[in-house]
Amino acid sequence: MSHESPLIQSLRTAVAAAPTDVPLRLHLAELLLGEGLSDAAVSEAAVALQHAPGDAGARALMVRAMGMPAPEAPEAPAAPAPTGFDWRAAEDQVKDAVPPRFVTPEAPVPVAGQGDSDDAAVWEVDTPGSVTLADVGGMQEIKDRLEAAFLAPMRNPELGRLYGKSLRGGLLMYGPPGCGKTFIARAVAGELGASFMSVSINDVLDMWMGNSERNMHEVFETARRQAPCVLFLDEVDALGAKRSRMHHGGMRNTVNQLLTELDGVDGANEGVFVLAATNVPWDVDIALRRPGRLDRTLLVLPPDAPAREAILRYHLRDRPIESVDLGKLVKVTEDLSGADLAHLCESASERALLDSTRTGTVRMINMKDLLAAAKEVRPSTDPWFASARNVAMFANEGGMYDELLAYLKRKRKL
């Protein structure tokens, strides 16, 4: 054992901790094989096959490991050593100039009217977009969390595999309305070069028995066909039994269906990244928050100064403005949400327009318009913080709202 590389040793530790994780064990077997330790590779492949008898990867590896000449009984290898021209490498080199040999069939698109319910929903998927985290102004803490939870393991598959188990769960974003949850989810998809599928749970729910479950399954199936895909589940609180419009039994089945889909079977969710969001996390079904599910929370707060600057810049980009002091505007817009800032720019434009029609001379939007608008716009997040404050103080179960409490303290709202 002492001649094993450090990587193999740590993989052994990981496998011992997660003995039923077949991909992890196969990864170890692959490395052992690479080091010429074919006996060890055979025994790992054998255990993998016990856990997953039909696994093609495990079988192939077993065949290769057994085909290797064992040190004590040197025989001719079963398969001839690969020699000659490397077609695969050559193909790879010319792939930009020469069309592929096979066209990849397009993934089947669900069609309305198919299946047994005659109004089967069609779930829209956006192809990989151009919005990335670089477009999200400020909010460094959020970016760091996302980097650790989603992006780093994706960029480094080795790491991802090693920590695969602990990263299986999804992330629940919560916070006041209009502060960037949807925008951030879209940016994560762009960052991963993944498709983006945004689904409101309210659209999944159907008053007919069984239809909600079928819709939920269809949503995940669509995401799987489009993998890599970020599946953004908005308004997950709609599944909370507390505010349910439906009788409990029906809702419970829908929650269970979501749990089944989240858990996946046989790596079915490979390349599907679930991000969920809610404005009312205290209404989210507790079963969804268990380990391995939506077990991590991310508080998305009103935009900080750099974020406000990015948002203001974005909304002013196509408007006729003059001498706008963004720094000053950022200072007087604390606590405004992204949506409030959009509204501010809108009303400043209206002021300038009204003025122009009144005087008959066209003029640009200036600081005066913007500052006046800033005075009028009230933070739309105030009511949210008022109710969130109570929950955070009196129902902070498992420290779920620690992040929120820290913010309220910092803001002296506690």
Ligand X SMILES: Nc1ncnc2c1ncn2[C@@H]1O[C@H](COP(=O)(O)OP(=O)(O)OP(=O)(O)O)[C@@H](O)[C@H]1O
State which amino acid sits at residue 338: G
55 versus 234: smaller Cβ distance to ligand X: 234
Cβ burial 382-406 (10 Å sphere, 16+ → b, else e): eebbeebbebbeeeeeeebbebbbe
- CA angle at 189 for the pair 252 and 109, rounded to the nearest 5°: 65
Question: Does 143 contact ligand X by CB under 6 A?
Answer: no
Nearer to Mg ion, 62 or 273 (CB): 273
Q: Which does 298 bind (CB under 5 to 8 A by kind): ligand X, Mg ion, none?
A: none
The reply on whether position 240 binds ligand X by CB under 6 A is: no
- Binding of residue 57 to ligand X (CB under 6 A): no
187 Cβ contact list (under 8 Å, min separation 6): 131, 132, 133, 135, 136
CB of 410 to Mg ion, least distance (A): 25
> What DSSP character marks residue 286?
G
Q: Return the SS3 of 198.
A: strand
At closest approach, how far in Å is the CB of 20 from ligand X? 38
281 binds ligand X (CB under 6 A): no
164 binds ligand X (CB under 6 A): no
Taking the least distance from each CB to ligand X, the nearer of 31 and 280 is: 280
Burial call 46-58: b when 16+ CB within 10 Å, e when fewer:
eebbeebeebebb
Under rule CB under 6 A, residue 326 binds ligand X: no
DSSP secondary structure letters along 99-136: --SSPPPPPPPP-TT-SSSTT------BPS-S--GGGS
Residue 264 contacts ligand X per CB under 6 A: no
Q: Is 278 in the site for Mg ion (CB under 5 A)?
A: no
Q: Is 212 in the site for Mg ion (CB under 5 A)?
A: no
Q: Which stretch binds Mg ion (CB under 5 A): 178-186, 251-259, 359-367, 404-412?
A: 178-186
CB nearest Mg ion: which residue?
A: 182
Annotate each residue in 176-195 with x if it binds ligand X (CB under 6 A) or - if it does not, as one string.
Answer: -xxxxxxx------------
The answer to whether residues 409 and 383 touch, using CB atoms and an 8 Å cutoff, is: no
Considering only 164, 240, 250, 303, the residue that binds ligand X (CB under 6 A) is: 303
Residue closer to Mg ion by CB (options 342, 353) is 342
Name the one range near ligand X by CB under 6 A: 38-46, 133-141, 195-203, 261-269.
133-141
Q: Which residues pair with 135 in a beta bridge?
A: none
CA distance 131 to 408: 30
Choosing among ligand X, Mg ion, none, which partner's interface includes residue 177 (Cβ < 5 to 8 Å by kind)? Answer: ligand X
Q: Which two tokens stand for residue 178?
A: 């209009």
Tell me whether the omega of the peptide bond preceding residue 228 falls within 30 degrees of 0, making it cis. yes
In 292-333, beta strands by DSSP E: 296-299
Neighbours of 90 (CB within 10 A): 10
**Which of residues 61 and 298 has its CB atom nearest to ligand X in the complex?**
298
Interface with ligand X includes 311 (CB under 6 A)?
yes
Q: Please report whether residue 305 would count as binding ligand X according to CB under 6 A.
A: no
Residue 230 found at the interface with ligand X (CB under 6 A): no
CA distances from 141 to 90, 150, 192, 235, 351 (A): 44, 14, 19, 23, 36
CA-CA-CA-CA torsion sign (387, 389, 390, 396): positive
Q: Binding string, 336-365, against ligand X, x = CB under 6 A?
A: --xx--------------------------
Determine which residue in the list 23, 138, 264, 292 makes contact with ligand X, applying CB under 6 A: 138
> Contact, 278 vs 243, CB < 8 A?
no
CB of 315: closest distance to Mg ion in angstroms?
17
Choosing from 31, 172, 307, 352, the residue that interacts with ligand X (CB under 6 A) is 307
Q: How far apart are CA 102 and CA 177, in angstroms?
A: 47
Residue matched to tokens 């608008």: 373
Question: Judged by CB under 6 A, which of 212, 226, 279, 380 binds ligand X?
Answer: 279
Question: In the bound complex, what is the minimum distance in angstroms from residue 235's beta carbon to ligand X?
Answer: 8
* 215 touching Mg ion, by CB under 5 A: no
Q: Which residues bind ligand X (CB under 6 A)?
A: 136-139, 177-183, 279, 300, 303, 307, 310-311, 338-339
User: Which residues of this protein are in contact with Mg ion, per CB under 5 A?
Assistant: 182
